[in-house]
Each structure stands twice: as C-alpha cells, then as structure tokens.
Structure 1
Amino acid sequence: MAEIPFNRADVTLANWRTVPYSRWSFEHVSEIVPSAIIPGTRGGKAAEPIGLDALSGVSLSGLEDAPSSLPDFLTESETDELVVMKDGRVIADWSAPHSDPSCPHIIFSVSKSLTGLLAGILADEDLLSFESPISRYVPEVAGSAYADATVQQLFDMEISVDFVESYLDTSGGFERYRRSTGWNPEKPGDPAPDLKRFICSIGKGGGSHGERHAYRSPNTDLAGIVLERAAGARFASLLSDHLWKAIGAGADAMVTVDRIGTARAAGGMSATARDLALLGDLVRRRGAGIVSEDFIADLWSRKRREAWKNGDQLELFPDGSYRNYWYETGAGELAAIGIHGQWIWIHPESETVIVKLSSQRLPVDPALDQAIVRMMRAICGV
C-alpha cells in the first residue's frame, strides 16, 4: 500500500470525508468516529490478489460515454476496491495503490441494505412485525413524523418527513443531523442532541406516509433502534449473530455509534469488499437459508413501483423500485448503493455479484453513477 501524502494528525472530524483524507479515513473510520465491532468468524485468511485477467475482454464506456478500459475506469472513478464473484467464487479483484483490501472500508448507505436483511431475519423469527406501527417498538416517536407510520413504510423510505437529505449542507438540518451521529464536530453555541432525540424531533412533511419514495437517512437510523427494541440486543451484536457470522465473514465489520452508543444503521458500517461479496451472493442465492426466500423474493416484487415513480430518485433507475432498503433496477438486477461510490451489484442471470468501494470526492455524482452502472453491466455481460 502506497504512503498517504499527509500525516495522520491532519485527518480530523471536520475533514475526514474530503479528498485526499478520505482515501485513508474511509478504511480507518474507527479512528475518527467511535465504533462498535461486528465480529465475523475471525478465521479468515487474507486472500491473495487475483487481478483482472478474467475480465480482460470487458469493454465499457466510461465518463461522458467514452470508451475506456476497466483499469482506467476504476482509477478515473476513484475506486478503492473491486471484487467480482461468479457463481459464488471470486474471479477478479483490484485495489488502488493507497488501499488495503484487508481493512474494513466504510460503505455508507449500503449499510441500509444490510439493515434490511437483518430485519428480514428478525421478522422470520417472529421478533419483528413490518405491519406494526413504529411506536410499538419506539414509543418516543410520539409527536414526531413517525408517530403514525408503520415499520414497513420506514423500511421502504415512504415516510413523509420535514427533512432534507443534503450531503453538502454546512449549516442546516442535515449538518445538525451529522453532529447528532458524531460525524461532524460539535458547535458549542448550538449543540446537537443525541441521534434518537434528533430523530424524534423531526416533524411531518406534506402528504401522507406511503404515497411517495422519499430517501431520508434518519429513517434507517430509527430502523436500527426498532430492531434493537424488537430483539432486545444491540445493533452490532444482532448483525454479528444473525448475519455476519452466518455468511462466514472473514473480517470483523464495524458500525459508528453516537455519544450514547446508538448505531448509525443508515450509513456507519465498514466491511471488506470480499465479505460484502459474500453478502451479495447470499441475496443472489435467494437467502441461502439465512434470510427467508420469501423476503428475498419480495425485494424483486416491485410492489412499491408507484411510490418510486412519485419519488426523488427516479432518475437513477427510471424503471426501478425500492423495497426494504434495496434498489430493484427494472432490468433484472438488485443494488445496494452508498454515497462516495459504494456499491453491491447483483445480477442473478449471469450469477454475478460485484462490489465496488470508493473514495469519490463528491457524495453524489449522477453522471458517474450512470457510468458505474454501465461498468457493472459490462462485467455481467449485459
């Protein structure tokens, strides 16, 4: 791994999500934000790199739809790690010079998709009811936007909230939310509450719950609290016991926590690309006996297509849908997606799972997202 062009002391809570510091901090989040460990099997041996030889015939169109080789596009798209799995076997991988594939990398909102799978497991064990009101598990939501919403609406991002998802916000509600999670430095003159108190202060927006897809990260942080209350255990322990050890994850994962230990289920998880490929293959194999086949099938059901069409992410997958924190693309794929370029891509027809972890300088870049989708489909032979 190449030396980073700055000192560790240069990386702070104020700059850790910005280039160039993110190229280091995205693999060392626990040094910046307090984090809980999600133990894996701890029996994994570091895999030898394979390289991209198996994908030498892949041609793709990169940024601005211009022809590009796969290695060039990975560099151009600020990729840190790529793992490609075919029929349950890793056939290709790639690491940036500054990246260490053995280090857990932050996955931002891919965390939401893992939270969704955990909910499916708990529901199958009759510990969670998607049809129940959120208030059954978290009575503190009384008086907030969530007071009259169901758990299923929470997991489908169909809550009407007076909150704007604005990743570059420096002085508004989203920045205050970030401070409540412990991700931004506190402002002495305007202290933020802890994460649960912040969520329970969010008011209702216009319209009714269930009408439209409205992507708002506090929803999933609340979902993590719901799962803890439903199962009577902390979020990190639930993930470890029900999912991470079950897939045979070779490395521990992590999740950031706020000042009182509430997990950032919406975006705070870190994991290795290889373990995420195992997770994606679990979904490809319809749950593999760990998550119920019915729950996985429901991710493809397109039940919430109309809400998606009325929502705020339609441009990403115009014929897609969204269910339990997973994107269904409308073209035979499922995806888990996080800001700054984190992806799990699942294409069952070609038996392919792709994981791309990145340190893209912009949180959201729609043109780059479309180029990445083209890359994924080229790798899958679509």
Structure 2
Amino acid sequence: MTGKTAFESRYGFPRNEVLLSNWRENPFNRWSFQNLGELVPTARILATPDAIEAPMRDFDGLLGEKVSIASAPETVAEFLARSSTDALTVMKGGKVIGDWFAPHMDFGARHIIFSISKSVTAVIAGILEGEGAFDPEAPVTHYIPEAAGSAYGDASCRHVLDMSVSLDFEEAYLDPESAFARYRRATLWNPGGGTESLREFILTLQRLAEPHGETFRYRSPNSDLLGLLLERASGQRFTDLMREKLWLPLGAVSEASIGVDMEGTARTAGGISVTPRDLARLGEMMRQGGTANGRRVVPEAWVRDTAVTGGSSEAWQRGSMVPLFPQGRYRNKWYQTGFANGAYCGIGIHGQWLYVDPKTEVVIAKMSSQPEPVDDPLDIEIVAFFEALSRIV
C-alpha cells in the first residue's frame, strides 16, 4: 500500500481526479483556480521585465482581531477560513499591510479572478477611450458590423459596458442543459467544446422586447463582446492590449494569463489569472485616480465616472443585485456600493473580490475557492468583513 503523494497531501485529492467536467467544483477548485492553463488553453500576458516582487508581509496580530460579521464575533482568520479564502492582500495608503495564504496556495502564485476580468477589460476600454481609439457611445455595429442580426444590432457600447443590454440569456451556472452551458462549451471551459467559437456563439444571442438601457442585467457574454470591440477598435489582440496599455504601465510584477477559445479569442468576461499583489496594484491604481508609480494609466475623468458619478440608479434598482448594494450602481463593469465611504469593487464568482475604500485608503484583494459560484448571503457578509477590516488595518 502506497502513501499519499505530495500533491494529495496538500490538496486532499490526487491530481488525476481534476477534470474539465469538475474543475470548478469543491474541492478540486482549490487547485484548478491556480492552474487554469493545465485545463483550458490560455495566453500569456508578460509583466515588467526583471521585476522582482517584494517579500511576503505577514499580518502579524491582525488575524486574531475580532470582527462582527454574522450573529457572533469571529476572528479575521476564522472568517477567512469560513469564506474559503485562498489569498488575501491588503494595501493601505499605497503600501502592502499584509498577505495571507491558505495552506494550498503559495505566495506569488496566480489565481483566476473570474468576473473581475470584466473590470480589468473595462479599464482597457477607458484607456482606449482616452486615446480617442474607442467611443463608448458608438453603436456596437460600428466596430462589429456582423452583430447586426443579434441582440447587439441596436445596442451601444455603453449598454455593453454598463450591462444594460436587453439580452435574452440567463447566467444559469449549474444547469447543464442551458444556453449558459453552451456558452461555456464555446469558451472550452466545459467538455464538448470546439465546434462553435465564442464569437460565433455571442452573435447568435437575441434580445428581449424591453429597450436597451433600462435594466441592469448581469450577462457575461456582454463582457466577452467588449473584448472583441476593443480588438476591432484598436487593431490589436487583447493580450497585446492588456500588456501594452495596462500591465506594463501599472508596474505589474508577475505574468498574467487569460483563457482563449478555439480561435484564440480571449475570455475577457472571466478568464484572467493574476497574483493577489498585482490585483491589489490594479485597485490602488483606481484609488489613485488612474495613476500608478507617478504615471497616468487611465484618465482621471474615467475613474471618477466609473467609481463615483456614472451609472444609472434606476437601471440598478430594476436588476437582481439590489440586496447586495441597496443604493448601488454599476458603471463600466465596476460596482459602486452606494456606501457613505464611497467604496467600489470588482466581483467574481466563487469569491473573487477587489474592494477599494477611498475613505480609509484601503484596497483589498481576496481570492477564494468557494464551493458555490454564487452565494448571496455570504457575499453580504464578505462586504461587511471588508468594511470592518478597512477600519482596523
């Protein structure tokens, strides 16, 4: 009888049990979320040459601090464990306060950020807008004429950016017979893919009777379409755009990656993997009004529109995410919380968060392997945790 391998001892299961059919399920996601490229095709996004990451910084006594989240106070460490956290990096005033990693994740490892990818992609849209290369108010068909027969035929890029396309599509994460499952096959994230590209799938989607712009509808294909819009507007592949326009100016230290489909189309709605430190750097750039290391990355007016002034309260109130942020808004694929502190964030399924609190000057990057893709009660607790953590760091 043989003993456990080092892999099995660390993750609790042998590597050969992780399959394309189960990689997003617990417990396999504890490994797969850090190793997307071993399961689906990915493209590299190189970082600053010869950049060296500063050493890991312990939280010292912060993990033992009590926070009141649910019915009874618990320590920071207890909440991190309860919320299936893989990694946490906290910055305050532009400096790293601390890093925390679960036993199954190493400092410096990449982790998929799922729908925070949407927020990253929108930043690139803002950069191109500032350069005059992309018009958010233009019709989708200005850049993608072949979208004329789809739901996007009479939609604007603004509708795409703000998730207000009247799209006949549901985010049915767990329904294997849904259009969402077909969407995942087109991204090569589910078995059976490779017969329909992501672009082909998106252009088959049809619209609802309601006019565009009236209701916030969280529909991921909008954000993959945004990646295609940016490629058409710029004449560059998305991976080159992200490296040239964002990753290098940001001063990212580590290489990023993004999932691609059968045609090499980037999965801009949810396929980006980065390190916690680099994700926190993105949040700090936003907190600094679009600058990083003294260099302008994205126009300050775009950041203010995204984080403070833009977005429709009416469209948000008609949407399904009001319980999370009762006074919230959604603009350029970022969430405005509506809180007095002016906090805003990017959110991804299975517990990925990038939270920016301008009042306390705190940025929090949280990467997780939650068992369920969406856990609404836990999301509310996570936001309360961020608020508490921002006050005590």
Flag as ranges the 4+ runs of structure 1 deviating above 4 A.
none
Within 5 A, what are the aligned runs for 1:366-381? Answer: 366-381=376-391
Instruction: Determine helix, strand or coil for the equivalent of 1:201.
Output: coil
Show the counterpart of 1:131: 137
Instruction: Determine helix, strand or coil for the equivalent of 2:250.
Output: coil
CA contact (8 A) 1:42 1:251 kept: no
Show the counterpart of 2:100: 94
Q: Matched residue pairs, number?
A: 378
Q: Does 1:50 align with 2:57?
A: yes
Q: Deviations over 1:21-40 (max 9, x none)?
A: 11001000011010011111
Instruction: Determine helix, strand or coil for the equivalent of 1:36.
Output: strand
Show the counterpart of 2:262: 259
Q: Does 1:35 align with 2:38?
A: no
Q: Does 1:313 align with 2:321?
A: yes
Pairing partner for 1:115 from 102, 114, 121: 121
Q: Return 5+ residue gaps in structure 2 as ranges.
A: 1-6
Q: How far apart are the structure 2 equivalents of 1:88 and 1:226?
A: 33
Q: How far apart are the structure 2 equivalents of 1:47 and 1:75?
A: 25
Q: Does 1:347 align with 2:357?
A: yes
Within 5 A, what are the aligned runs for 1:188-337? Answer: 193-288=196-291, 289-299=296-306, 300-331=308-339, 332-337=342-347
Q: How far apart are the structure 1 equivalents of 2:181 and 2:59?
A: 40
Q: How far apart are the structure 2 equivalents of 1:91 and 1:16?
A: 32
Instruction: Determine helix, strand or coil for the equivalent of 1:381.
Output: helix
Q: CA deviation at 1:233?
A: 0.7
Show the counterpart of 2:375: 365
Q: How far apart are the structure 2 equivalents of 1:344 and 1:173?
A: 29
Q: Return 5+ residue gaps in structure 1 as ranges.
A: none
**TM-score normalised over the length of structure 2:** 0.93
CA contact (8 A) 2:56 2:107 kept: no
Instruction: Determine helix, strand or coil for the equivalent of 2:227.
Output: helix
Q: Deviations over 1:126-181 (max 9, x none)?
A: 11001100011111111110000000110000000110111112111100000001
RMSD between superposed Cα atoms in Å:
1.5
Q: How far apart are the structure 2 equivalents of 1:195 and 1:66?
A: 46
Change (3 A) 1:320 1:54: farther
Identity rate, percent: 46
Q: How far apart are the structure 2 equivalents of 1:65 and 1:293?
A: 41
CA contact (8 A) 1:55 1:92 kept: no
One-letter code aligned to 1:34:
P
Instruction: Determine helix, strand or coil for the equivalent of 1:101.
Output: coil
**TM-score normalised over the length of structure 1:** 0.96
Show the counterpart of 2:26: 19
Q: CA deviation at 1:48?
A: 2.5
